[in-house]
A and B are shown apart, each in its own frame.
Chain A
Amino acid sequence: MAEVEETLKRIQSQKGVQGIVIANSEGIPIKSTLDNSSTVQYAALIHQLLLKARSTVRDIDPQNDLTFLRVRSKKNEIMIAPDKDYFLIVIQNPSD
């Protein structure tokens, strides 16, 4: 457990990381380093995106499954690690 906390701290201190959000499988955030409104917004929107992405991948081949999702935008990059019970979002701006 301490190791997980340590890893999260290391991730937070990586270059350009703007925030980390951990949410459960329904899109309710359970841990976050952003402010409340942003957290809720990210969690809800990313949850929708995840459902769509996962269903896309699995519709093409049901034996396949989504393991990682990266959304690169002009200002930053949103990286999403999904799972059955949770999903982890990290927002990074690497040119910071």
Chain B
Amino acid sequence: MAATVTQQPQKLVLLTGDSWGMLACLCTVLWHLPAVPALNRTGDPGPGPSIQKTYDLTRYLEHQLRSLAGTYLNYLGPPFNEPDFNPPRLGAETLPRATVNLDVWQNLSDKLRLTQNYEAYSHLLCYLRGLNRQAATAELRRSLAHFCTSLQGLLGSIAGVMAALGYPLPQPLPGTEPTWSPDPAHSDFLQKMDDFWLLKELQTWLWRSAKDFNRLKKKMQPPAAAVTLRLEAHGF
């Protein structure tokens, strides 16, 4: 996009042959350079592809998490791997909650929505890495590491979307940096509960993100037909 913007003034320069004009044009170009993202936003391709990519990645991660969670919950043993196991969320207070009231969610701005996503995944990624460190079997560690890499990709993707839309990345407040360290007073059982909740929240977040990005995508790409077509093509 930036290239197209700069080419037209150059042609103009050639036509005029005026050095002052050329200077003026260059100045204009320079003047417009900071506005390029804004142009992008309003422009046709815009952030649509990157949102689409993020959406796709979310769906992929959702799919990936399904197999990972199965493996991990089996590792935790019964009753964690029972299908109707639904313990109250007692521990795991530090985990970012994905559940949100529909009205609240609808009233969120795009920026806030993206920021929440970004923050949530940064936290979840950190916890997930901790999970990886304590896993007892090598195979589990491998699949966790693989998922972490994917999640890192999603985080980067969200950051890309935010940058494309011109939103600043949320800066973690000093001291609130999520650090995963196994609480010595934390019993193994509570740790398992935390792990369970981490996976559950991760899943809910991925669902929510898919919804978020879908909404964002619709907003950015008016032709809805194209969007649905793509969705179908990528339906996981």
The answer to whether A and B belong to the same complex is no
B interface list, Cβ under 8 A from A: none
A interface list, Cβ under 8 A from B: none
